[in-house]
Structure 1
Amino acid sequence: MSAPLRIHWCSPLDSGQQKASEKYNTGALDFAGIVDFAQEADELGIDSLLMGISYHMPDPLPMIGALVRETERVKFILAYRPGLVPPTLFTQIVNTVSWMSDKRISLNLVAGISPDEQAYYGDFVAHDGRYERTGEFLDILHRFWNGESPLTYHGAHYRIEKAQLGLPFKDAERPRIYLSGASDIAQQIAIQHSDCWLRYGDTPEGIAEASRTVLESGCSVGIRMHLLARETREEALAAVESMMENPDEQHREWVREFVGRCDSEAVKTSFRLAEKAQHDWLSPMLWSGAVAYRGGPALCVVGSYQEVAEYLFEYKKVGVSEFIFSGWPTRDEMRRFCKYVLPYLRELETIWDRDHA
């Protein structure tokens, strides 16, 4: 019997009410809205909430520390960049949260997508060097969690002498580790150090081709993308059309300029996919029209509840084992997904397991 798909959601910066073509809300923190969203995700049975990281967002670490006290079951995927804090301190922080939350924390290590943004934090390491640093960072974390103490490490990016930590990860375990990126070196680091290679969306055929080496290594594959599901396909298409009325073209231009300066293969690949799509559709189910406004994660599965479930199952058939979803508005989409799409998806998994027993 195959393991059921893991369903995660991306935590919004507020209560989760946003259109695809609007600019990001910045300059304030609606933490009460974030708590309310997390509590509903908890009630709906979402596996984990991704807490993203970027200069325009609040820092995810203190928010997770607060959110684990406001929820009971939902886990939190901490997105963080090596280079911001030393690995010893980072391990200490994660271990602390594991005790506060009964181990409800996972990690999504991101090497960074923009030299401009990295420079904001005093980091001037180039693309491949950032991934090499990520590998060292994860190597150190694994050594701590494997009980190596005192720990001495001499690498190209980190030097540690006889490091010790008094508080281990709870129950002598470690968090699940996701590694994001689309480049060859990102895949290599994911295979060496992570449980799941996380990437932006593509067609099932595209994902199958891109993830072959990762799957052969035994590493899992996850996809970060959007959903828009309605009772009928006609309603879903009408929702897309309505959502894209009066788009913020100034924001679109800002995104275009940002992508032009970034050095992320994942981001550039997503925009190349969107550019080659015919009339904003990569396939009859995969809409790319929001990528220009929202970036790589905005590739969106659109259709009826049953169509969306069937299309998502095609990803499982090529080896995908988990998804991190968002929507517009993301709270409404999460509700619809859990109530209408997920039952179809679980039924397809049950039938598949029965037929392949």
Structure 2
Amino acid sequence: MAIGSSDAVPEFGWYMPTRGDGPFIGVKPERVVDTPYMIKVAQAVEEAGYTFALIPTGGACTDAWIMGATLAAHTKVFKPLVAMRPGLIAPALAARMGATLDEVTGGRALINIVTGSSPDDMKAMGDSLAFDKDARYARTLEYIKIVRQLWINSHGVEGNKLLASRSREKEIEPLNFNGTYFTLEGGVSYPSLVQRPHPPFYFGGSSPAAKRTAAEIADVYLMWAEPVDWIREQIDEVEFHRKELLRTQGIDRKIRYGIRAQVVIRDTEEEAWAAAKRIVSKVDPAVLADTELRFSQAESAGQQRQNRVRRLSAKDDYVIGPNFWAGLSTIRGGGAMAFVGTPEQVADRFLEYIDIGVSSFILSGYPNLEEASLSGRTLIPAVQRKLRERARQAQEIAAQG
């Protein structure tokens, strides 16, 4: 896909609220998010037209892999985007986990590479590189190269034959790897993958080290939603490293780009803004102050960028631009920027991102169960219709010479 082209068909994903769900933020989640509730959300996501969903990791979240496999078993086309965390699981074991998930779901596995999280979470999980960001990205690069090669090496063996063989490891070209962080002797992965060459890797991170790493391993580079010009700059930075990889190593990789955002879709713009502001209507001022302090101390480059957007828009009641709002970022970290408006309005905003090369949208709302249906059934068709209209107009212009 050429940057600035809308040739790539956009994909739309949702978010699984495994740490809690409800109509408000800044207060204790009102709903019990047990497995039956998650299944209900996944089925609503699928019925609304979303093709996949991000399953979060770390903190108070349930395990993404087990939850992802469970949700896939209760849906037909829903694809779970699960977290692969270098440093917490050995790469050869992670490769088998991913291959197995791909096999049991019939080729629906998506992999989210999570290099780090908060220092407290990484310490709690036993990550020895909790305070060394550059080392974590170097480790991630080694890790994913191992996983990717193990998967590619597994292609020659049919899954059923492989599982029936007592010497299956001899039927796969073994991988030997001696790196800074990992060493393998005779590494293999099975079963063979359904998706070829492998399930796509989604990868995020706004630091220079993250963008260099993305150029080598990301199939989809994810960013928390920001103003269009800011996203264009990030895409340009990753593209620079991608082109350097081609120039210096002869490796020509194709990378898609995606954003993570909130959505509030209603029949009228007035209703949408009222619904958006209701989400933060129960926040205690003391909680706001504590959150602001915590965000100001964040080491994450992505969170620092979100902080900057929030500060710049504060004087305008956190309105960043047409149908784009930073109000949720006063209490919610990560991808907190929200698109607010009618399906037609938000579709127009999405086309602005599609025009600069974005083709993956991972969305969420409060509560996620209802908002998936409200947005998916109206917003996704609106975007698709507008893209078809553009294509038809372009063909008519071309036909006229």
Please give the range of the TM-score, normalised by the shorter of the 2 chains: over 0.9
CA distance in 2, matches of 1:14, 1:259: 19
CA distance in 1, matches of 2:204, 2:29: 22
Kindly provide the CA deviation profile for residues 151-190 of structure 1, in whole angstroms up to 9, marking residues without a partner as x: 1111111111221234222365411111111111111111
Structure 1 position 351, deviation (Å): 1.7
Give SS of 1:348's match: helix
Q: Is the 8 A contact 2:268 2:342 kept in 1?
A: yes
Counterpart in 1 of 2:260? Answer: 224
Give the one of 133, 136, 142 matched to 1:136: 142
Give the one of 123, 133, 141 matched to 1:127: 133
CA distance in 1, matches of 2:196, 2:346: 39
RMSD of aligned alpha carbons: 2.1
Kindly provide the CA deviation profile for residues 220-267 of structure 1, in whole angstroms up to 9, marking residues without a partner as x: 110001001111111112212333222144544454454345421111
| Count of residues paired in the alignment | 356
CA distance in 2, matches of 1:261, 1:81: 24
Change in 2 beyond 3 A, CA 1:348/1:143: same
CA distance in 2, matches of 1:93, 1:325: 26
Give the one of 50, 62, 69 matched to 2:66: 62
CA distance in 1, matches of 2:340, 2:150: 43
Residue type of the partner of 2:9?
P
For 1:158-307, list aligned pairs within 5 A: 158-170=182-194, 173-215=197-239, 217=242, 218-277=254-313, 278-307=316-345
CA distance in 2, matches of 1:127, 1:25: 35
CA distance in 2, matches of 1:127, 1:340: 41
Residue type of the partner of 2:10?
L
Q: Is the 8 A contact 2:84 2:94 kept in 1?
A: no
Larger radius of gyration: 2
Q: Is the 8 A contact 1:182 1:266 kept in 2?
A: yes
Structure 1 position 16, deviation (Å): 4.7
Residue type of the partner of 2:339?
V
- Percentage of identical aligned residues: 26
Structure 1 position 82, deviation (Å): 1.0
Change in 2 beyond 3 A, CA 1:250/1:86: farther
Change in 2 beyond 3 A, CA 1:220/1:281: same
CA distance in 2, matches of 1:274, 1:15: 24
Kindly provide the CA deviation profile for residues 101-129 of structure 1, in whole angstroms up to 9, marking residues without a partner as x: 00111111111132221111121311111
- Give the unaligned 5+ runs of structure 2: 1-5, 155-172, 243-253, 396-401
Deviates more, 1:11-20 or 1:65-74: 11-20
Give the one of 110, 114, 121 matched to 2:118: 114
Change in 2 beyond 3 A, CA 1:305/1:121: same
CA distance in 1, matches of 2:195, 2:305: 40
CA distance in 2, matches of 1:307, 1:256: 30
Q: Are 1:153 and 2:177 counterparts?
A: yes
Kindly provide the CA deviation profile for residues 18-56 of structure 1, in whole angstroms up to 9, marking residues without a partner as x: 323334579x75110001111122222211011110121
Q: How does the TM-score come out when normalised to structure 2?
A: 0.83
Structure 1 position 143, deviation (Å): 0.8
Counterpart in 2 of 1:97? Answer: 101
CA distance in 2, matches of 1:293, 1:171: 39
Q: How does the TM-score come out when normalised to structure 1?
A: 0.93
Counterpart in 1 of 2:247? Answer: none
Give the one of 14, 17, 29 matched to 2:22: 17
